[in-house]
Each structure stands twice: as structure tokens, then as C-alpha cells.
Amino acid sequence: MLAGQLYFAWDAATDRGGAGGASFACDSLLEFPLSSAASCVWTTDSELTATLDYRATCAPGDNMTALADVLKAYCAYADCSCWPLINASSTVLRVPDTPLMPAAVFVAPERVGSCSDIAIDATASTGSGGRGWMSAAWSVNCSTLPPANLTALRASVAALGAGSDILTVPNALLAAGKAYEFTLTLENFLGFSAESPPLVVAVSAGSIPNLLIVGGATQRSLAPNPLGLFAQASVAVCPGGKSGSTALSYRWLCTTFAGAVSTSVDPRFFKLPACVADDLVRCCASSPPAR
């Protein structure tokens, strides 16, 4: 499994260290973190590409050294034996020319009851470069809260989610009838960061089922591919209360493709075979209160 590539350029043509256009072990020419786990190839007489494997740990700011006594300057003559070998030279690994930007992907309910916590899972977010986030900062807004309450809520949310891509806000911090906007700012190991669009979660009065679509609220599938969605739901009961039943009934509604009928025998799944629509199909799930 590959982890990426590094690109090196010399300010003049070289003899490629005798490697020609063949692949060779990078640590015979270069020194950088885990260079022994990389394969190198010359693309021109002055440019080289190092392909990293999954063990790669190098990051912007790391020192990159071309070893001494391996290369010579390019020589177009028949006898170049008197040309000296090149001394060692070093540079610092820079960030990619094309930024790798984080993009938050939320798995969370759109509405919870006043007795439920708000749980947001952003572990499916992209742009980490296969490593842990350098930072993850949560923020919240609720325009209808008194300023003092909002300030306290923001401090609590920042502390609860500090450094994590998972956030759980206890219902004791929430008020029924309010809608809360959550944003997440992620920074990857390359130093690129981005703030997510707001995720709005409304708090209803009383107890309602907790419902979310596994994989996030927005999912896409091309018409030639089958579509599969899974609804995860549970009964929420207020402290001291008692539910008459833990059974839930599921009803799927497809708003842009009225003829869509799920082929799944499990009501928690919504499945469509390939090529049942000409374009992307957007579906949503709803569940009535538990009875």
C-alpha cells in the first residue's frame, strides 16, 4: 500500500548515480525519515521521484539529505572519470503544491428529544493523509439562547470535543425547542485546515426516537451502482419515565424518485438495485414515535 510520493530536483543535470531509468532503494542516495521504506526513480537527469509505502512518517519540515559521493554532474563526453563526485546537500521537505484539505463528514441525528444527548461522529472525515488530526476544534451556536448561556455552552462544547473527532453534548446542557449549529475545524499533519459547514441538530420537547443514517446524512451513488442506506434508531426515555414498548417502525420516503421501492426485507435498510434511476437518488428516513 502506497502512502504518497516525494519529488526532488537538483539545480543541474546529474549522471543519475548510474541508476539510469531503473527503480532503486532510496536510502542508497537519500536520507530522510524511513527512507529505507521508499523506492526511487529518476524521471529526468535532474529530477527524482521517491514513492513511499505505508510506513512513511516524513512530514513538512523534516530534513532531506542527498548523500555525498554518489552522484556526478552529467557528462556528455566519452571519458568522465576525472569528474568529481557531488558533495552532500540538504533541504527541508515542503508542503504539497496542491493542498490536501480536510472535509468533515458527520454522522449525527437531525433531531433529538429533550432527554437525549447530542452525539456527533466525524471519524469518517477525509483529508487527514492517513494520520491522526493535528487538531480538532468544535464550536456551537444557538442564536436564541441568552448570551450568558451561549458563552457557557461554547466553553463546554470546546472542552468536551477538544482534540477529538467525536463529540457528545449531554442533554443537561441543551434546551427543548432550540436548534444548535455545530462546526468542526480540522487540521492535518501537513498544516492544512478547514472549517466544516454547520451541522444543525434540533432538540424537541419530550422523548422521541434517536435516528441517524449510518455513513452520514449526505450520501451519493451513481445510477450504475446499487444504493444501500441503513437507519440506526433507538428509543430514548427521559429519566424517571418508562416506554410502553421498545419496538420501532420504519418508514422510508424518497422525495425525488417517487417510484423507488426498497428491495430489503429488513425495514432498517433501504436498498435499490443498480440502474433504477437515471441520476443520483436522494432519500431520507423517518420514524414515528415508539408505541
The pTM of this model reads 0.69
pLDDT of 52 higher than 70:
yes
Q: Supply the CATH number for residue 196's domain.
A: 2.60.40.10
58-56-59 Cα angle (round to 5): 20
Residues 124, 74 share a domain: no
- Cα separation, 174 vs 20, in Å, equals 66
Same domain, residue pair 171 and 260: no
Q: Are residues 200 and 156 in the same domain?
A: yes
Which of 156, 173, 206 marks a domain boundary? 206
The count of residues in the chain is 291
Residue-by-residue DSSP string for 133-182: -SEEEEEEE-TTS-HHHHHHHHHHHHHHTTT-SEEEE-GGG--TT-EEEE
CB atoms within 10 A of CB 170: 11
Question: Which amino acid, residue 75?
Answer: C
Q: Does residue 109 share a domain with residue 28? A: no
Distances (CA, A) of 231 to 21, 211, 235: 53, 7, 13
Q: What pLDDT is attached to residue 286?
A: 43
Asked if 9 and 85 sit in the same domain, the reply is yes
Grade residue 212 by pLDDT with cuts at 50, 70 and 90.
confident
What pLDDT, on the 0 to 100 scale, is given for residue 242?
Answer: 57
Span 207-226, mean pLDDT?
75
Same structural domain, 196 and 274:
no
Q: Does one domain contain both 135 and 184?
A: yes
Q: How many structural domains compose the chain? A: 3
Is 75 in the same domain as 128?
no
pLDDT at position 231? 83
Domain boundary pick from 152, 182, 206: 206
Look at 254 and 18; give whichever has higher pLDDT: 18
Neighbouring residues of 40: CB distance < 8 A, sequence distance ≥ 6: 19, 23, 24, 25, 26, 29, 30, 48, 49, 50, 51
Same domain, 237 and 171: no
Domain around 135: 98-206
Task: Provide the grid cell at 241.
Answer: 419515565
Claim to verify: residue 67 and residue 87 sit in the same structural domain: yes
Averaged pLDDT for residues 257-265: 77
The DSSP output letter for 14 is: B
Q: Which of 58, 92, 126 lies at the terminal end of a domain, its last residue?
A: 92
Q: Are residues 199 and 289 in the same domain?
A: no
Residue 97's pLDDT is 85
Taking only the tens place, the pLDDT of each residue in 127-183 is: 998 789 999 999 999 999 999 999 999 999 999 999 999 999 998 999 999 999 999
Report for 115-129, 180-194, 200-214, 233-247: range of highest mean pLDDT: 180-194
- The pLDDT tens digits of the residues spanning 266-286 come to 888 888 777 665 444 444 444
Is residue 114 located within the same domain as residue 196? yes
C-alpha cell at 239: 429519566
